[in-house]
Amino acid sequence: MLRIITQQTEAQTELKRIGGRTFDDDMRPKEELVREIITNVKTQGDTALLAYTEKFDQQVLPLEKLKVSGSELDAAYQQISQDLLHAIQLACQKIEAFHRQRIPKSWVQFEDDEVVLGKRYTPVDRAGLYVPGGRAAYPSTVLMNAIPAKVAKVPKIVMVTPPGEDLKINPAVLVAAQEVGIEEIYRIGGAQAIAALAYGTETIPKVDVITGPGNIYVTLAKKMVYGKVGIDSLAGPSEVLIIADHQANPVYVAADLLAQAEHDPMAAAILLTTDATLAYKVQQEVSRQLENHPRKILTEKAIAHYGLIVVVDSLETAAELSNLFAPEHLELEVSEPWDLLEHIRHAGAIFLGNSTPEAVGDYLAGPNHTLPTSGAARYASALGVETFMKHSSLIQYSPVALKKMSSTIQILAQAEGLPSHADSVRLRTD
Amino acid sequence: MLRIITQQTEAQTELKRIGGRTFDDDMRPKEELVREIITNVKTQGDTALLAYTEKFDQQVLPLEKLKVSGSELDAAYQQISQDLLHAIQLACQKIEAFHRQRIPKSWVQFEDDEVVLGKRYTPVDRAGLYVPGGRAAYPSTVLMNAIPAKVAKVPKIVMVTPPGEDLKINPAVLVAAQEVGIEEIYRIGGAQAIAALAYGTETIPKVDVITGPGNIYVTLAKKMVYGKVGIDSLAGPSEVLIIADHQANPVYVAADLLAQAEHDPMAAAILLTTDATLAYKVQQEVSRQLENHPRKILTEKAIAHYGLIVVVDSLETAAELSNLFAPEHLELEVSEPWDLLEHIRHAGAIFLGNSTPEAVGDYLAGPNHTLPTSGAARYASALGVETFMKHSSLIQYSPVALKKMSSTIQILAQAEGLPSHADSVRLRTD
């Protein structure tokens, strides 16, 4: 049963516990394994990839099957319904339209004395997208990672995803990839896939940025190769925090909480409400909706460990608790959501009003569903076109401009004990 | 002597070697030490900070001296020249003016059926700036890290820097901090300072983002706490790559190469030129300028190990080699730098023409001097206002809009095996 608490201090403690659920006390054994995997992929290339696939995915993967073939890609279209194809296509359009807004653009500006300053934005050369397999093989993951890369005009995008039984890959995932224009897909998952993308193998090209969610091994591998390549973020288990007042519908709120909990036994589903009656009704409704839930066991587990209802004295208190938690997803099921928004400082995505369940954003509203988890919304943002771009600062000084700044630069360089810095200006201007 | 090579393949090998100079074969012993430091600071707080300061900085630090006092801050102004103060103030103005350009702004847009989409930008609550001590205690580091945080309107900014002999801190560093408006400064450095900022101690507040350069222990600590807090980047040793044609001045080019080499024995200074005569002259000139160089030993070391001149057949070849290296700093000392720019894909900052030595950008042109190193310019950018901001996606659907998308969302949710995702929409629209 979803727990209800009313004490502020208890609420803070509980939110802190839930927010910190990602991290084991000691990650070292897992880190050691991941380090070993990376080293072996780096030195043995494809051979290591095939061996790890047999070991971890229990699949014998012949080298010629590492890359997904054109005929397999074609066949995927026959394996999904027309309805699903059209749904993927509509989602694709809407996500792309949103990501085309406010793409970073290069600029230069001219200052006095013929000084030119600016920023020049360019895409990365190569991006690698990780798409989980098994229960969590989602076509929406493909769209949300690949579309920003496409909009950024990344010349080469490759995808990796672990093989399931008989080396199969979810056909909806393959269709989603093709709808976005990705045809270079490798049948490899886990830390070994991340290592392959970071260092390259005989078959898999080395990339510049790796994005996409994964299990703890994938996440540790991403952290380990960060610096060698760019990464989007370190994804933890998913979470929703809902702020609701008396006018919220307990049936909707309960469904929204369960829509988060059903992802993973580690998922978190939190309700902060000013209305004790609503709290009670949501509690009942969650139990009711769980009764015949197809993913009942794992969902119940998430609700039991990381589910929580807090009755608060005001919406401002709710906002403060939410800021403390910095949720990945925040739903404002209150009568004046835009007023409450003013009190929110940290959240990955904010869903306003009673007709905006998170699922709208998960699939097709447009904004990215790859969002900062585990409190990372305090400092990080959704994956976006920027994830696949970078900029170079541009500086051009004229002889006149340099002369004017010459003595100031020399004073600073001398103060820092860097004589050649000073010389590089002095020799040009004296 | 600065080595000259002419073979393309040798050039590629050498650039790869130089680009990879950051990483030891086995970082594990250093990582283990850093992990231990972080754990101890996490559990013992200030006590651990004082103990590590005695151990690594050889300074007995009383707890009441951990925070730099107001009188010490005041006194710093008396310890620097008026010229230096004015130089810091001018640099401050020019850096701030540049960083005020194109600050990310929140936006919403209204679509059909009363759908609202947007992005809301907010600053992080707290930023922590690391400023190295000793030979590398630079006031410019303070300006380049603190000004973007100020422009982003971060409510709380704290600085950490290791104590020198007699617990002293470089007065120019203290003045630069005050000129930007930072008065909360802690006398602590190394991995222990990063741990304190990430986890907080009795004295030092926990922050959300940590920026600033440091030695290998600081960098490893930043990588380790990344995910718990945001970081700017993993800074490696500095580097410049210069592309020059026949009209470049060998005296200037040599000074620019040395201005990089004088930073650190690990710094890299590379010239790619179409003109063999220039190559020879620069080689001579580097030796000449090194003769009475105050930092001769370390600068010679950098030149010997990570200095290189490559004579290339064309500027396009030079651009390709440069893209391979993805330099932190790129100088285009050629007659048509804006034409050559079109061929450049990856560089942290680009200095165009013969009158734009890197030192201009290091100190006061405006763009940030904290730039991606070790090839990270392939995927990363300069530190900026964005480093201290993040955005929340905003989504509001009306009942009508949700109804229109209802079946599409349900199809996608069912395909992904997430029934409560479908329910959260169905219950609202059926």
Write the pLDDT tens digit of every residue in A268-280: 999 999 999 999 9
Tokens describing residue A308: 């929580």
Q: DSSP per residue over A37-103, as a string?
A: HHHHHHHHTHHHHHHHHHHHH-----GGGSBPPHHHHHHHHHTS-HHHHHHHHHHHHHHHHHHTTT-
**Residue B134: its pLDDT value, please?**
82
Contacts of A367 in chain B (CB under 8 A): 117, 119, 393-395
Of A230, A293, A347, the CB nearest to B380: A230
**Does the annotation count B329 as an active-site position?**
yes
CATH of range A4-22+236-365; options 2.130.10.10, 3.40.50.1980, 2.40.110.10, 3.40.50.300: 3.40.50.1980
**Does the annotation count B183 as an active-site position?**
no
User: Of the given ranges (A129-138, A239-248, A277-286, A346-355), which has the lowest mean pLDDT?
Assistant: A129-138
Residue A28's pLDDT band (cuts 50, 70, 90): confident
Q: Which residues of chain B have pLDDT under 70?
A: 23-25
**Residue B23: its pLDDT value, please?**
64
d(CA A151, CA A22): 32
Q: Check for a shared fold between A4-22+236-365 and A29-99+122-231.
A: yes
The alpha carbon of residue A184 is apart from the nearest alpha carbon of chain B, in Å, by 21
CATH number assigned to the domain covering A29-99+122-231:
3.40.50.1980
Contacts of A231 in chain B (CB under 8 A): none
Out of A14, A300, A329, A369, pick the active-site residue.
A329
Out of B328, B331, B333, B358, pick the active-site residue.
B328
Share of chain A above pLDDT 70, in %: 99
Of A252, A350, A363, the CB nearest to B428: A252
**Residue A130: its pLDDT value, please?**
98
| Closest alpha carbon within chain B to A87 | B408
**Residue B220: its pLDDT value, please?**
95
How does strand A389-396 pair with strand A116-123? antiparallel
**Residue B26: its pLDDT value, please?**
73
Model confidence pLDDT, tens digit, residues A266-313: 999 999 999 999 999 999 999 999 999 999 999 999 999 999 999 999
A396–B377 C-beta distance less than 8 A:
no
**Residue B135: its pLDDT value, please?**
77
Residue A418's pLDDT band (cuts 50, 70, 90): very high
Query: Which of A363, A387, A23 minimizes the C-alpha distance to A211?
Result: A387
| Closest alpha carbon within chain B to A86 | B408
User: Where are the domains positioned within chain A?
Assistant: 4-22+236-365, 29-99+122-231, 399-429
A371–B382 C-beta distance less than 8 A:
no
**Whole-Å CA distances, A45 to A51, A58, A81, A197, B221:** 10, 19, 38, 11, 30
| ipTM here | 0.97
Contacts of B425 in chain A (CB under 8 A): 357, 359-360
How many beta-carbon pairs under 8 angstroms link A with B?
344
CATH superfamily of B28-100+123-231: Nitrogenase molybdenum iron protein domain (3.40.50.1980)
Query: Quick one: residue A113, left, alpha or beta (phi over 0 = left, psi -120 to 50 = alpha)?
Result: left
Q: Is B331 annotated as a binding residue?
A: no
Contacts of A413 in chain B (CB under 8 A): 359, 363
Residue A24's pLDDT band (cuts 50, 70, 90): low
Out of A328, A331, A333, A358, pick the active-site residue.
A328
**Residue A135: its pLDDT value, please?**
77
Contacts of A347 in chain B (CB under 8 A): 392
Q: Is A416 annotated as a binding residue?
A: yes
**Residue B115: its pLDDT value, please?**
98
| Closest alpha carbon within chain B to A249 | B428
Model confidence pLDDT, tens digit, residues A68-110: 999 999 999 999 999 999 999 999 999 999 999 999 999 999 9
**Residue B24: its pLDDT value, please?**
63
**Average pLDDT of chain A?**
96
